[in-house]
Chain A
Amino acid sequence: GESVGLHLPTLSVQEGDNSIINCAYSNSASDYFIWYKQESGKGPQFIIDIRSNMDKRQGQRVTVLLNKTVKHLSLQIAATQPGDSAVYFCAQTGGGNKLTFGTGTQLKVEL
């Protein structure tokens, strides 16, 4: 079945450093890959998506990289801030008009 998993459950970074959150996926047929951010006690919030025919997309302080050869997705956050502390989920589109979410990576920003 489809699965989306993350390499590291917890990532600690110093404020101001860059963060890289990784994700492995299994469904090669997905059209889109998406990153969501979930702060404690809140619902997830859309960050950025990337179409399967692209290998890089940039947003405000974030960059998503897609490597279809090794089925790997990453989210890079530049100049990480305390407000970036959250759980980050990758997700991919799949059959039946639904998303498959990964288990999440906790990002902790140390002052």
Chain B
Amino acid sequence: DGGITQSPKYLFRKEGQNVTLSCEQNLNHDAMYWYRQDPGQGLRLIYYSQIVNDFQKGDIAEGYSVSREKKESFPLTVTSAQKNPTAFYLCASSIRDRGLLEQFFGPGTRLTVL
């Protein structure tokens, strides 16, 4: 089955610790995205990557970092500099010519910082 996976589904961390969220896709998609979703709000873009070894900041990149060393993988690190990291994090991917339109989302990781 082709798809996009995120792990773990639930993640707990202590305040001040960095944490890395995994995102893997086997859809052969060029572009990958990270969004943050808070209760009662829409999705906000953290980082996106249109090609391997390249990525751009989204609207709320402060306190986050990413890497894109492989086409299939786009891990997100939530650093201690992120003031309010507790949220639902969604990873997405898309083919280049449908890039912004038809994004395929993973199941999400719910991060709770204690």
Contacts and interface: CB of A to CB of B under 8 A. Distances in A.
A99 B48 CA distance: 11
Interface residues of B, number: 23
A9 B87 CA distance: 20
Given A97-B100, A98-B58, A44 B48 contact: no
Given A89-B43, A98-B45, A102-B42, A45 B105 contact: yes
Nearest to A1: B59
B102 A49 contact: yes
B104 A103 contact: no
Contacts, number: 58
B45 to A, nearest CB: 5
Q: Which 8 interchain pairs have the tightest Cβ spacing? A: A43-B105, A101-B42, A101-B43, A46-B102, A103-B42, A49-B101, A93-B100, A44-B105
14 contacts: A32-B100, A41-B107, A42-B105, A42-B107, A42-B108, A43-B90, A43-B105, A46-B101, A89-B42, A91-B42, A96-B56, A97-B99, A103-B42, A104-B42
Given A9-B40, A44-B90, A49-B101, 17 more contacts: A4-B42, A41-B107, A43-B92, A43-B108, A44-B43, A44-B103, A45-B105, A46-B101, A46-B102, A89-B43, A97-B48, A98-B45, A98-B100, A99-B45, A99-B103, A102-B42, A104-B41
